[in-house]
Structure 1
Amino acid sequence: MSNDHLIRQLEENARDGSGFAVIQLRKLEEQGVDIGERARRLIAPKKPQQEVAEKPKRPTAHEFKKESEFQSVVVTTLRTRGYMVTEGPKGSAGNGAVYYTAGTPDLTILKDGRVCWIELKQPTGRLSPEQQQWHEDCRTHGGLVFVAHDLYEVWDALEKAGML
Structure 2
Amino acid sequence: MRQNPETIIMNDILVAVTALPCAFFERCNTGAARGSNGRLIRFGTPGAPDIRGTYRGRSIAIEVKTARGRLSKEQERWRDSFVEAGGIYIVGRDAPGVMTELEGM
Structure that is richer in strand per residue = 2
Residues 105 and 119, structure 1, Cα contact 8 Å, conserved in 2: yes
Could you report, residue by residue, the CA deviation over 1:40-97 in whole angstroms, capped at 9, with x for unpaired residues?
Answer: xxxxxxxxxxxxxxxxxxxxxxxx743122211211222223331111117x3x6553
- TM-score if structure 2 supplies the norm length? 0.76
Query: CA, structure 1 residues 129+118, in 2 after alignment: closer, same or farther (shift >3 Å)?
Result: same
Residues 109 and 116, structure 1, Cα contact 8 Å, conserved in 2: yes
Q: CA deviation at 1:149?
A: 0.9
Point out 4+ residue stretches in structure 1 off by more than 4 angstroms: none
Q: Among 74, 86, 91, which residue is 1:130 paired with?
A: 74
Q: Among 137, 140, 143, which residue is 2:84 paired with?
A: 140
- TM-score if structure 1 supplies the norm length? 0.51
| Superposition CA RMSD, Å | 2.1
Query: CA, structure 1 residues 142+125, in 2 after alignment: closer, same or farther (shift >3 Å)?
Result: same
In the other structure, the counterpart of 2:38 is: none
In the other structure, the counterpart of 1:28 is: none
Could you report, residue by residue, the CA deviation over 1:129-154 in whole angstroms, capped at 9, with x for unpaired residues?
Answer: 10000011112222211112111221
Residues 89 and 98, structure 1, Cα contact 8 Å, conserved in 2: no
In the other structure, the counterpart of 2:93 is: 149
In the other structure, the counterpart of 2:25 is: 85
What is the CA–CA distance in structure 2 between the aligned matches of 1:119 and 1:78, rounded to whole Å? Answer: 13
Query: CA, structure 1 residues 159+81, in 2 after alignment: closer, same or farther (shift >3 Å)?
Result: closer
What is the CA–CA distance in structure 1 between the aligned matches of 2:42 and 2:26, rounded to whole Å? Answer: 16
Query: CA, structure 1 residues 95+152, in 2 after alignment: closer, same or farther (shift >3 Å)?
Result: same
- Number of aligned residues: 96
Query: CA, structure 1 residues 114+142, in 2 after alignment: closer, same or farther (shift >3 Å)?
Result: closer
Higher relative contact order (CA 8 A, sep 6+): 2
What is the CA–CA distance in structure 2 between the aligned matches of 1:139 and 1:110, rounded to whole Å? Answer: 14
Identity among equivalent pairs (%) = 25
- For residues 13-92 of structure 1, the aligned pairs below 5 Å read 65-82=4-21, 83-89=23-29, 92=31
What is the CA–CA distance in structure 1 between the aligned matches of 2:59 and 2:53, rounded to whole Å? Answer: 6
Structure that is richer in helix per residue = 1
Counterpart secondary structure, 1:152: helix
- Stretches of structure 2 that go unaligned for 5 or more consecutive residues are 35-40
